[in-house]
Amino acid sequence: MKRTLLIPALALLMVAGCKNKDTQTMDNPFFAEWNTPYNIPDFSRIQTEHYMPAFEEGMARQKAEIDAIVNNPDAPTFENTILAYEYSGQLLKEVSSVFFNLSECENSPEMEAIEEKVTPLLSAHGDDIALNAKLFERIKAVYEQRESLNLNPEQMRLLEVTYKGFVRSGANVPAEQQERFRQLNEQIASLTMRFAQNVLKATNAYSKELPDGSKVTLDMPTWEPFMQTCADRKLREEVWHAFTDRCKNGQYDNTKIIDTLVNLRLERANILGFPTHADWVLDDCLAKTPANVYRCLLDIWEPALKVAKQERDQYQKMLEKDEPGAKLQPWDWRYYSEKLRAEKYALDDAEVRPYFSLDSVRAGAFMVANKLYGLTFTERADLPTYDKEARCFEVKDGDQTIGILYMDFHPRASKRSGAWMTEFRGQHRDLEGNNIIPIIQVVCNFTKPTADKPSLLNFDESETLFHEFGHALHGLLSKCTYPTLAGTNVPRDFVELPSQVMENWCRHPQVMKMYAKHYQTGEAIPDALIKKIEAAATYGQGFMTTELLAASLLDMDYYSLTSKQAIDPLKFEEQAMNKIGLIPEIISRYRSPYFQHVFTTGYDAGYYSYTWTAILDADAFEAFAESGDLFNPELAKKFRHLLESGYTVEPMDLYRDFRGKDPSPKALLKRKGML
């Protein structure tokens, strides 16, 4: 599944930092202007020893800024309270964005040690702000007189979001429970950090030498093709278990972390007045309630499971021909699925990849953004980068630079698996009204090029690139005033719309003809191959939809618990899958011990959002398809407005303004061949 790591401005404000005279004498690049083009972080000057002093100084400065707000003798106003808070912690936000983004893709023992040290400090600092009764009293005073303040719509939105953010972060927690609330936040922060570190280490720990002299690792670009093509069933089983048994015991065991984390999140939700952690999460999302999420997922579950069972029966027959009497197992599924796809559609992955070189697909994504929104992307090798593999692009709208885009495509031992978009700096306007352009990062894990061959993507990987690029456009096109409301700082079940809708252009035949070029000849992808891809578009949807829904329902089951209990994640997962009737030949897309979305990266009680938003993205693209012009200027202008608006307007109001009606699930079911 495509992963997205977002660092919302409000979250960074809430985890923000001490003024130490000694730090002022250090040659610490965080304590001065970067003196780089577009004020990009000067990565070459940043050393690991710079982070802790910068974190400490950042926390100290924000503490002083908060004290100034609290001790202001003047009556609370939008300017002296809401805006003063919104723009506090600038240094802390800067060092946090650099450190936590690089810890995801440039990790090291030194970075891990800093993370372990700073995480509880940031948690305590965030709580000092969220639980500051005098600060909240001033915010509440402004909020209660909001109708008489003559605020413009964006100011009103910032006031409402700030007030609700404080309430959700514990501002109303009774004094006698605040100490426990602080403990919970610190423990939760530490556990999520340890979970992620364990997954990275366990993934890097495995490497299997193969008879042909190559090797397979647990990185998806090597693991999945191996599972699709390896004819040795025993070897498939071994590698399957290496992948799916990660972190369930041994040195990198995450099972006890899950038990503790789920119960701590439940306790925290109870203190905040919610019956479950899911209720607390969804209160700030479009779905609103767990019941709505379950209804959405289960409406699709039955038709998806029906198709998955049909797929299973086909693969079982194929297995019996190879090994009479053998029963299909999860490690057989990808192998026979790929084999049948090649037979049924004469579609071989090896035939597809030459037309989807990484550079061609990237250029295709840029081309779509140009045709829709007029954007151009120019590579700038002269701008600072954090790694030699990270490519940097200047993004222009006409002759105006609107952002900087980093793209980091290949696996490294220091880099977590998956794909995500994040930002080193979000778009906003400073207090003087100057527009601050965003610095966006897209990270993927595609097979590296060789001496004689570029990185060649399969079609799913091509969609992944378009997906993360869609997130990037959401950040790059932002035209907001306040950091908290800008770019991708929208609810989880809306943030995937800009990314998932881009996948539709990736897979459309007309667009494929424009960007899919043979890496050796430059020849455009043949119509016959496009037809094969089209014909296979709904192939395997039973499996793909079922494993995704299973993971989403597992996530909801963990966080819909209403009482504290001892949790054995492996048994809990088994019971959850049995409850919905998942067939044993398929497992949840992520097993619990390495399910980073819901135990580390902020998708707890939110993994459903990929399905929820798929309804929106299919319906949105249908508008372009129905118009007869995939780059319809009028529709592109409306959708650009949706991207530019961030969270300044209610998301569904933005969607209705674009579409002219509420979304319908019919387009999604049609796309999946399940209508």
> Of 2-6, 476-480, 589-593, which gets the smallest average pLDDT?
2-6
Asked, for residue 57, whether it belongs to a domain, the answer is: yes
Answer whether 643's CB lies under 8 Å from 477's CB.
yes
pTM score of the predicted model:
0.87
Rounded Cα–Cα distance for residues 10 and 667 (Å): 34
Helices 609-627, 651-659: crossing angle, 10 deg rounding? 20
Asked, for residue 112, whether it belongs to a domain, the answer is: yes
Q: 645 in helix, strand or coil?
A: coil
Residue 149's Cβ-count burial label (10 Å; 0-12, 13-18, 19+) is middle
Domain boundary among 474, 492, 510: 492
Rounded Cα–Cα distance for residues 256 and 225 (Å): 32
Residue 452 maps to which CATH number? 3.40.390.10
- Region 237-249: mean pLDDT is 97
Residue 298 has pLDDT above 60, yes or no: yes
- Region 378-387: mean pLDDT is 97
Residue 99 maps to which CATH number? 1.10.1370.40
Helix (H) or strand (E) holding 386: none
Q: 131 in helix, strand or coil?
A: coil
Residue 242 has pLDDT above 90, yes or no: yes
φ, ψ of residue 400 in degrees (nearest 5): -105, 125
Residue 4 has pLDDT above 60, yes or no: no
Q: Residue 26: what pLDDT? A: 59
Residue 488 has pLDDT above 90, yes or no: yes
Residue 19 has pLDDT above 90, yes or no: no
468 is known as an active-site residue: yes
Residue 12 has pLDDT above 70, yes or no: no
Q: 370 in helix, strand or coil?
A: helix
pLDDT, tens digit, for every residue of 520-563?
A: 999 999 999 999 988 888 889 999 999 999 999 999 999 999 99
Residue 220 has pLDDT above 90, yes or no: no
Residue 22 has pLDDT above 70, yes or no: no
Q: Residue 668: what pLDDT? A: 85
Asked, for residue 25, whether it belongs to a domain, the answer is: yes
Asked, for residue 595, whether it belongs to a domain, the answer is: no
pLDDT mean across residues, the chain: 93
- Region 599-613: mean pLDDT is 92
Residue 189 has pLDDT above 60, yes or no: yes
Q: Residue 7: what pLDDT? A: 32
How many CB atoms sit inside 10 A of residue 15's CB?
Answer: 27
Query: How many folded domains does the chain comprise?
Result: 2
pLDDT, tens digit, for every residue of 300-331?
A: 899 899 999 999 999 999 999 999 999 999 99
pLDDT, tens digit, for every residue of 128-157?
A: 999 999 999 999 999 999 999 999 999 999
pLDDT, tens digit, for every residue of 73-100?
A: 999 999 999 999 999 999 999 999 999 9
Asked, for residue 522, whether it belongs to a domain, the answer is: no
Asked, for residue 535, whether it belongs to a domain, the answer is: no
Asked, for residue 672, whether it belongs to a domain, the answer is: no
Q: Residue 144: what pLDDT? A: 97
Domain boundary among 452, 477, 492: 492
DSSP label at 447? P
- Region 643-669: mean pLDDT is 93
- Region 464-468: mean pLDDT is 97
Domain that holds residue 442: 354-492
Instruction: Write the single-letter amino acid at 280.
Output: W
Which of these, 602, 527, 669, lies nearest to 195 by C-alpha position?
A: 602
Which residue is catalytic, options 468, 496, 573, 585? 468
State how beta strands 400-408 and 420-425 pair: unpaired
pLDDT band at residue 255 using 50, 70 and 90 as cut-offs? very high
Answer whether 475's CB lies under 8 Å from 647's CB.
no
Helices 633-644, 358-373: crossing angle, 10 deg rounding? 100
State how beta strands 400-408 and 439-443 pair: parallel
Which of these, 221, 217, 236, lies nearest to 332 by C-alpha position?
A: 236
Residue 8 has pLDDT above 90, yes or no: no
Domain boundary among 461, 492, 523: 492
Phi-psi region of 524 (alpha: psi -120 to 50; beta: other; left: phi over 0): beta
Answer whether 476's CB lies under 8 Å from 405's CB.
yes
Asked, for residue 525, whether it belongs to a domain, the answer is: no
Q: Residue 179: what pLDDT? A: 95
Residue 11 has pLDDT above 90, yes or no: no
pLDDT band at residue 3 using 50, 70 and 90 as cut-offs? very low
Q: Measuring CA to CA, how many Å separate 536 from each of 314, 330, 347, 348, 630?
A: 16, 21, 8, 11, 22
Instruction: Write the single-letter amino acid at 652.
Output: M
Helices 220-229, 330-345: crossing angle, 10 deg rounding? 70
